[in-house]
Structure formats: C-alpha cells, structure tokens
Amino acid sequence: MFKGAFTAIITPFKDGEIDDGAFCDLIDWQIKEGIQGIVINGTTGEAPTLSNDEYKHILKIGIKTANKRVPIIAGSGTNSTAKTIEATAYAKEAGADGALITMPYYNKPTQEGLRRHFVAIHDAVDIPLIIYNIPGRSVVDMKVDTMADLSRLKNIVAVKDATNDLARPLKTRIACGPDFSLLCGENSTYGAFLAQGGDGGILVTSNVVPRALREFTDAWFAGDLKKFAYLNDVLFPLHEVLFVEPNPAPAKYALSRMGKCKNELRLPLCEISAETQKKVDAAMDRVKKAGYL
C-alpha cells in the first residue's frame, strides 16, 4: 500500500511554541520537491514532548496543508495500548491516511504482548497501520514470525524496519508476502534495504534533501543503477552525520541553515555541538556541489 520515499518530518519551534508557518511551508516544500509521503508526530517530530493539544493541532494543519497531494501518516504509538488507540482514533478522525505504531518502549513486552497490543489497535480503529520496529529505541524487537501473524490482519499493511539487519527485509518478504510494504527506517542503509526487497523508506535525511531521496528511490525502481550508485555516494555522509547526535537535532540545525526553521528543540534534546555542526556543514556542502541544495 505504501511505497516510495517518505519524510519523517520535524516539528519546528519558535520561542517554545510550534511554528505553524514554518511547518506548513516545510510540508509544501517537501511535496513540491517530490517527496511521496510525510509522517507527522514521529520521533523526528519530537512527539514525546508535545502536549495532546499540540499533537492534534500539528496533525490537523499538516493534513490540511498537504491537501491529499501525498499520503499523511500519523505517528500515534505509545507504550500504553489504551493511549495508542486514543491517538490512532484521532488520526483517523483528522483524515490521516495511516498510522505509524512504534513498539511499546520501556515496558519490554513479550512477543505475545506485542501481538495483543497490535491486535487491540487494529480491532479498535479502522485505519491502515504501519508497524514501527526500532529495537534501538524501544528495547524490544518484533520477530518475523510475530509480524507475519499480524500481517494477515486487514489493516496491518507495512513495517518501518529500523533493525539495521539487512537479512530482515528478505525474511519479512517471504513470511509476510508481496502485498506487505517494507519501509526502511535506517537512512544509511536505505539503498541496501531497497536492494533486499524494500518498497521505500520513512527517512530523516529527506527533511533536508527531499528531491535527492525521491530521485534516488526512483533510480532504483527504474533500474538506473548508475544514478542510484552516484546518489548513494553523495548522500551517505549526510545520512551518517544526521545521527551523530540524537535525531532530530542535526536535521534541525541543517534546516535552520537553509532558512526553513529555527534551530530550536525541546528538552531533553538540545542543539548540536560546534564540532557536529562542522560535520553537518561538510556533508551539506557535498550534496550542494551535486546540485541538491
């Protein structure tokens, strides 16, 4: 159902509040640059620091700004099944095209607990669901067998795979079948993930260079391996440096350099160090020379 390059979009702040103007301009620019979908209120959007009212507000204005030009996915997962159902129900009400549900972090549920969590959300809200498997942040890893079981449910349609295990997409494709979308959640291995059977990615780097990520993705599916390899080399340093410090701090610095938002985060995140700034600058210069900034 979901295919191509999606952006896990940042949430711009100004003087401690959401910067509505910058956010709407950023979504409009992303779409004009060719991005194929946008995730709002994900980790990159600093969702854990947003109030319930802010969560609803930014999703509402994002959907309105997109105006059905691309799919909008709402990050609605928490470590409470009841709260996740509530947030996912709002996402449907607001008009989102799907919901991204992370593994329940901190609780450390068993595979059976994970299965019941996703079944409960599926049964409560009629909206396409993307499983977000990110062991590095949640401490739990959904096994392929569990995912295959869940993939048989009507509305569980995709996974955002941030395991950094490049055997995983092949195993998942075999277990879950060709209609279950495989989306990469590890920017630096995006190219390899596509080559292992991926359908696309939910990416952070595309906050900064959406056109480059769209062209990179299109090159793979068009069989243009020369362009694919070239862009892989151009983009790799930026993929890496945007995670030298916790995401989205490096991405927000890069976007502030481009005049897209203020370099402002909410605690416990803070601005990147001067040393990291230099690394981001160098990676941005590389993609600028290639004509993508």
Provide DSSP, 155-204: TEEEEEE-S--TTHHHHHHHHH-TTSEEEE--GGGHHHHHHTT--EEEES
Determine the residue type at 7: T
Report whether 155 contacts 124 (CB < 8 A): no
Structural domain containing residue 209? 4-227
Q: Is 252 within a domain?
A: no
Distance of alpha carbon 169 from the chain centroid: 17
Catalytic residue numbers read: 132, 160
For residue 1, pLDDT beyond 90: no
Give the DSSP letter of residue 35: -
pLDDT tens track for 58-72: 999 999 999 999 999
Q: Is 266 within a domain?
A: no
What is the mean predicted confidence (pLDDT) over 250-267?
98
Closest C-alpha among 221, 159, 225, 163 to residue 194: 221
Q: Is 281 within a domain?
A: no
Coil, strand or helix at 223: coil
In percent, how much of the chain has pLDDT > 70? 100
The two structure tokens encoding residue 104: 């329940």
Q: Is 270 within a domain?
A: no
pTM of the model: 0.96
pLDDT tens track for 73-85: 999 999 999 999 9
Q: Is 53 within a domain?
A: yes
CATH no. for residue 139? 3.20.20.70
Alpha carbons 71 and 201: distance in angstroms, whole number: 13
> What is the total count of domains within the chain?
1
Q: Is 255 within a domain?
A: no
Q: Is 242 within a domain?
A: no
Give the DSSP letter of residue 70: S
Q: Is 276 within a domain?
A: no
Query: Residue 102: which residues within 8 A CB-CB, separation 6 or more?
Result: 43, 75, 77, 78, 132, 134, 137, 138
